[in-house]
């Protein structure tokens, strides 16, 4: 087995990222036992298999490495062999595997090895055979060890998701979720199709020397891709928000809730009265009419989100001037009448867990296109805060206390809540619950830190 200077081995740009723990283990093994399994390169010293072994040898200061050299007629065959080597590894995440499947598919098509409708046989490019010709999707699926359905879904995910959104997915729990990736891939189908047609038309016009038409089609393609990215980015955010909301609800359910007896003792000791302003950490709590100037003058003018429940005495249209997005939660009754009568600019409606949410804003807000699988009001609150706020855009307004879901979610996620209610007992109960949960004490008056 020949040895080749490590400095002469070329590493392709499409290589998977290194696993640090695996490199460390290999380094220790090679130091103790030598390189038991040579790396594989082609005749031009392009690395086919063994990046972790090669890296471990470099870290050990070795100048040469034992190599299995295989001959391929061109770079396409070499890359195809490299992909096949990566696909047999079990540690691939679904998105990584899908992208390799797509690249493999594209190479096979360019080499004339991929089935087309009506094809009966295939001829390999050149005389070398990398793997048996794959005549159908079923043949390829069988070769990869996955079902035909899984392969088709994987190719759809890799092809249909905007590259920038795929990059975001790789660093999140969604990288392991084929279901979430499929929902994102199926978002903005019309925009993606329009972009692909425009891109093909631009290439055709350019080949004909029609520069103006090529430029026009290129602009159409860019606009469609931008819209595709916008909608899929929203789908990505929605999927992340759902996962975080479900996790938050589980954690909340595991917390020990106060008994009615404890609550009654606390309420007897409570001194909160109408007109009080209290500081809970970074949050502000107001006891009184939240449609009054007393509450409104305490609010920031640049809140990311306001969440309210629809009451019979609704007088909170002002919220749309204080927050970028206003979400009004209500059961089915009266929601349509409310949306038609309010002066807040209506954007769209969401139906989550049999609850109706009217979304209002002075800005144009795109509606999430993917299904939302969340149960209960606490899950809905967490979803909204995760979707429409961030650590840089963290102010949340709540003109009703409820059972403290919004205050608790803001505390847990590091948001700043401006919340109020005109019921002193309700305000007192939630302040005491917050104190028990956080171990902090509420203070009166002052500003929000």
Closest by Cα among 283, 303, 400, 402 to 361: 303
| C-alpha–C-alpha distance, residues 202 and 225, integer Å | 14
Three-state DSSP state, 318: coil
DSSP 8-state code for residue 323 = E
Q: Which residues of 266-291 are buried (b: 16+ CB within 10 A; e: fewer)?
A: beeeeebeeebbbbbbebbbbbbbbb
Give 127-172 pLDDT, tens digit per residue: 344 444 545 777 777 777 788 888 889 999 999 999 999 999 988 8
Give the residue carrying structure tokens 């899908």. 98
Question: Please, which residues bridge with residue 47 across strands?
Answer: 41
pLDDT along the chain (449 residues), means of 10: 87 71 88 86 83 90 88 74 72 83 81 60 42 60 78 91 93 89 93 95 92 94 95 93 79 49 49 88 94 93 91 87 93 70 89 87 91 87 93 94 91 94 91 88 65
| C-alpha–C-alpha distance, residues 438 and 365, integer Å | 35
DSSP 8-state code for residue 18 = P
For strands 416-421 and 323-330, give the pairing.
unpaired
Closest by Cα among 278, 228, 280 to 408: 280
State the sign of the Cα–Cα–Cα–Cα dihedral 173, 178, 179, 181.
positive
Residue 94 near residue 64 (C-beta atoms within 8 A): no
Residues in the chain: 449
Query: Which residues are CB-neighbours of 259 under 8 A, at least 6 positions away?
Result: none
Query: Which residues are CB-neighbours of 66 under 8 A, at least 6 positions away?
Result: 1, 2, 3, 35, 38, 39
State the sign of the Cα–Cα–Cα–Cα dihedral 129, 132, 133, 134.
negative
| Topology at the third CATH level for domain 262-444 | Rossmann fold (3.40.50)
Give 183-215 pLDDT, tens digit per residue: 999 999 999 999 999 999 999 999 999 999 999
Q: Quick check: do 3-159 and 262-444 share a fold?
A: no
Three-state DSSP state, 159: helix
For the chain, the structural domain boundaries read: 3-159, 161-254, 262-444
For the record, the structure tokens of 265 come out as 């003792």
| C-alpha–C-alpha distance, residues 192 and 230, integer Å | 11
Residue 54 near residue 42 (C-beta atoms within 8 A): no
For strands 443-444 and 303-309, give the pairing.
unpaired
| This prediction's pTM | 0.69
| C-alpha–C-alpha distance, residues 243 and 386, integer Å | 10
Looking at the domain that runs over 3-159, which CATH code has it been given?
A: 3.90.1530.10
CA distances from 122 to 7, 119, 180 (A): 39, 8, 36
Q: What percent of the chain has pLDDT over 90?
A: 39
What element of type H or E holds 169? helix 163-169
| C-alpha–C-alpha distance, residues 41 and 44, integer Å | 8
Question: Please, which residues bridge with residue 355 across strands?
Answer: 352
Question: Please, which residues bridge with residue 349 across strands?
Answer: 358
């Amino acid at each position: 087995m020949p040895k080749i200077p490590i400095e002469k081995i070329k590493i392709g740009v499409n290589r998977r990222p290194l696993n640090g723990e695996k490199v460390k283990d290999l380094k220790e093994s090679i130091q103790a036992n030598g390189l038991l399994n040579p790396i594989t390169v082609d005749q031009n010293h392009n690395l086919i298999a063994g990046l972790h072994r090669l890296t471990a040898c470099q870290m050990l200061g070795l100048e040469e490495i034992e190599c299995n050299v295989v001959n391929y007629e061109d770079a396409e065959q070499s890359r195809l062999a490299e992909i096949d080597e990566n696909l047999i590894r079990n540690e691939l995440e679904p998105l990584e595997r899908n992208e390799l499947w797509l690249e493999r598919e594209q190479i096979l098509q360019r080499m004339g090895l991929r089935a087309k409708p009506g094809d009966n046989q295939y001829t390999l490019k050149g005389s070398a055979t990398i793997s048996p010709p794959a005549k159908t999707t079923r043949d390829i699926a069988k070769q990869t060890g996955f079902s035909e359905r899984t392969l088709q879904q994987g190719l759809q995910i890799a092809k249909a998701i905007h590259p920038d959104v795929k990059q975001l997915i790789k660093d999140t729990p969604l990288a392991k979720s084929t279901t979430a990736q499929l929902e994102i891939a199926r978002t903005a189908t019309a925009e993606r199709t329009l972009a692909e047609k425009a891109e093909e038309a631009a290439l055709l016009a350019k080949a004909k020397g029609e520069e103006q038409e090529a430029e026009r089609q290129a602009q159409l393609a860019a606009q469609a891709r931008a819209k595709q990215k916008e909608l899929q980015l929203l789908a990505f955010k929605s999927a992340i928000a759902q996962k975080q909301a479900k996790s938050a609800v589980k954690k909340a359910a595991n917390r020990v809730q106060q008994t009615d007896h404890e609550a009654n003792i606390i309420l007897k000791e409570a001194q909160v009265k109408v007109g009080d302003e209290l500081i809970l950490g970074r949050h502000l709590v107001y006891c009184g009419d939240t449609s009054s100037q007393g509450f409104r003058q305490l609010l920031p003018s640049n809140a990311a989100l306001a969440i309210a429940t629809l009451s019979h005495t609704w007088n909170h249209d002002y919220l749309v001037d204080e927050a970028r997005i206003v979400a009004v939660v209500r059961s089915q009754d009266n929601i349509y009448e409310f949306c038609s009568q309010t002066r807040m600019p209506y954007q769209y409606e969401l139906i989550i867990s049999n609850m109706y949410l009217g979304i209002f804003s002075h800005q144009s807000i795109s509606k999430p296109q993917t299904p939302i699988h969340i149960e209960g009001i606490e899950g809905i609150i967490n979803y909204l805060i995760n979707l429409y706020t961030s650590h840089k855009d963290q102010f949340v307004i709540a003109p009703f206390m409820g059972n403290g879901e919004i205050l608790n979610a803001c505390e847990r996620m590091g948001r700043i809540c401006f919340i109020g209610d005109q019921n002193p007992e309700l305000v007192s109960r939630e302040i005491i619950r917050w104190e028990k949960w956080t171990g902090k004490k509420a203070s009166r008056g002052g500003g929000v830190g």
